[in-house]
Structure 1
């Protein structure tokens, strides 16, 4: 029997041996550190940084902007030091709604709230840890912008989401509580910030859908500051349906991410300078980035194109994958999701013939076709999202339709992202 999705009541690193990656693992508590009654309204998956990235902050304030998917009356924010090698000290943190007018760095001062941690205004996160702030009353609209300001008194480095497709700002000193700041730098990565959750009640969020994927889910090649990633556009579509208007949509995409393996750049390839941003394998990070999301009740998986395309470029040629290996990885995610009561939907891998990144070969196309055929017909998933059918060129189905191609033959443009959001079958979220 299919699991019911919407409850009526609230409720690299060196590649590891494939056999080890496919082993079943014990799962931690879902939504660890977030109170029952909260659901995610925004998320970003953290990664480590390569040795070449010397970015750090000290006696500086980071002002970062997030786009909410559902509304709430009370807010919590998740900070992360999961890939740091030293403690992360948060001297002060604030959350506010973005100012309706004025510069991008400004907040609405009437909405500014100081975040606390166990009642204290500051906290220290041990290396490898994350922490939710205490709840704070702040009416938060769906589809709006929240500004999170974080003062870092001592050197902080090591945990990032490298491609935000959103501008953030760095300012000198502790200006976390100021209505506006004078930036000393701008950034398009997210630092030490991985989630925002809102209280769940009948008129807002009842549960969340996690979009688990790679750069296509992360929003690669979309317009910066436009929130045109397909999960954002899907959230907008859900808000227009009264039956699903309380559905949180959480983006757990990481550019370059693979299902089966961690980053493993060949020496001398040049990929050593950025491959760590690709994040741990989907199999390894599934617990943190999906199962622990507050309010998560379903996940859609769009991973596999980098498993196909990276060998011989940013990974050793020996890591070429077969359809059977990818399917074994998907089956593990399905089992782990079902063990935790989540529905899991499979998304077909988009076409990439003619790409400019060196991904395509006829052999890899045959694997893609075999994987997509299994996704559509095996019945292993609780539902299928056929992105391939929605975005391929009907006259040349191995390629993206030109109108949806960002220019590299692999990543959809903003119109393609809209087509992906439109291709998601809403009936999947209404299943009983």
Structure 2
């Protein structure tokens, strides 16, 4: 009869063997999963059973959705009496910030008057890597799918996110997105971002994968597309810019990508310590903090345009000059507007902080000499100083970026530096936007 001690000696050997076999199986499974990820298909096929991907999703490009004004609708013949973009191919380029091995797109029907029926979508690299071109680099086009299907219907007021697509995207490069709508959208209420400062192209028929679009109609607006995301490493995070036309880039160069957020992106990515920052522009000309202007007010769109973006860590608020500019130029009205703006900022700070987002505030630029905003009695200028004093001294923002100091005329602080003025004494030229980009401390994003 065997001794108890003998059985005790044999049991650990069998347990060790079982553990070794289990470890080997786990390692082999992990290796197979790694190979599958590295050689993933670039066809856009969706596999709901695929293992979770390494890294995290972060927006690499955004554009604030808004209702298209009549003069910004797609040019003829792509806008009819009751339908837009019927049997139309729309090709657009966007400049991404951070790169990744997998991408997905966001299409918005936030302001559409009917279901948005997208028939087919592709992504590609633009010809010559340039912004605003109609051609794509041959061999780079890949179909985009939605739950494994080529077509998708975007409900009224909703957005749809595409399936992840294996598509290598380098940082700070241009991406082409081509969309075909067979039936068009049965409404002239269309979602877009008119202030694209980038040329898009429209052509009748399905040309989603065509390398060139001969005879296409150019238009300097973005339609339907509201975001591009990449699967990226844990060292990446998003910085959202909440603002108006000064951030949207009025006065910058069409297809030049020289708005101040673009120039800040270049500066941050020149330093490896901040090379993982995704700069996301959520601004629109004519937008306001407290009341609807061109697009919903900032308080109304904060959830959609900031909190719902993927991978956001920081928010920079540079917003409010239009609130001052449209309020009556009386002392009482401007005093009340300054107080309301400050209260609005506090709402933004509290709501973003609650989601773990660090919030920075930027001072408002001078507008002396502007025909619409400057007033002889100086009440709007006084309100601007009140707001800026609060931004600088209240301590409510996690840090302050002093755009006022960076852009004003040293000889007349109520006016823009003439070297930066686009000519209307409100907006900046590319040199002025460089001054804003340079005024943002890079240490805030390390």
1:366 aligned partner: 382
Asked if 1:323 corresponds to 2:338, the answer is yes
**Can you list the C-alpha shifts for 1:103-141, whole angstroms capped at 9, x where unaligned?**
921111222111000000010001111011111111111
SS class of match (2:272): coil
Contact 1:167 1:186 in 2 (8 A): yes
1:9-158 residue pairs with structure 2 within 5 A? 37-50=56-69, 55=79, 56-100=84-128, 104-156=133-185, 157=188, 158=190
TM-score of the pair, normalised by structure 1: 0.84
For 1:259 and 1:39, the matched residues in 2 are separated by 25
2:236 aligned partner: 206
Over 3 Å counting, the alpha-carbon distance change for 1:170 and 1:331 in structure 2 is same
Structural RMSD (CA): 2.1
TM-score of the pair, normalised by structure 2: 0.81
For 2:100 and 2:212, the matched residues in 1 are separated by 24
2:285 aligned partner: 255
1:37 deviation in Å? 1.2
**Can you list the C-alpha shifts for 1:237-261, whole angstroms capped at 9, x where unaligned?**
1110101101100000110000000
2:17 aligned partner: none
**Can you list the C-alpha shifts for 1:385-426, whole angstroms capped at 9, x where unaligned?**
110000001110000000000000000100011111110011
Name the larger-Rg structure.
Answer: 2
1:220 aligned partner: 250
Structure (1 or 2) with the greater helix fraction = 2
Over 3 Å counting, the alpha-carbon distance change for 1:318 and 1:390 in structure 2 is closer
1:254-333 residue pairs with structure 2 within 5 A? 254-263=284-293, 278-311=294-327, 321-333=336-348
Structure with more contact order per residue of length (Cα contacts < 8 Å, sep ≥ 6): 1
Over 3 Å counting, the alpha-carbon distance change for 1:285 and 1:359 in structure 2 is farther
Contact 1:349 1:387 in 2 (8 A): yes
Gapped runs of 5+ residues in structure 1? 1-34, 264-277
Report the count of equivalent residues: 378
Contact 1:64 1:168 in 2 (8 A): yes
Over 3 Å counting, the alpha-carbon distance change for 1:354 and 1:74 in structure 2 is same
Contact 1:217 1:251 in 2 (8 A): yes
Contact 1:67 1:144 in 2 (8 A): yes
Contact 1:376 1:384 in 2 (8 A): yes
Over 3 Å counting, the alpha-carbon distance change for 1:250 and 1:101 in structure 2 is closer
Gapped runs of 5+ residues in structure 2? 1-53, 74-78
Asked if 1:335 corresponds to 2:350, the answer is yes
2:213 aligned partner: 181
Contact 1:213 1:252 in 2 (8 A): yes
Please identify, of 356-365 and 386-395, the stretch whose mean Cα deviation from structure 2 is larger. Answer: 356-365
For 1:215 and 1:200, the matched residues in 2 are separated by 30
**Can you list the C-alpha shifts for 1:300-349, whole angstroms capped at 9, x where unaligned?**
00110000112369xxx979852111100000000001010000000000
**Can you list the C-alpha shifts for 1:25-65, whole angstroms capped at 9, x where unaligned?**
xxxxxxxxxx9811111100001134676642110010001
Over 3 Å counting, the alpha-carbon distance change for 1:320 and 1:98 in structure 2 is farther
SS class of match (1:384): strand
Over 3 Å counting, the alpha-carbon distance change for 1:176 and 1:359 in structure 2 is farther
1:165 aligned partner: 197
SS class of match (2:206): coil
Please identify, of 288-297 and 354-363, the stretch whose mean Cα deviation from structure 2 is larger. Answer: 354-363
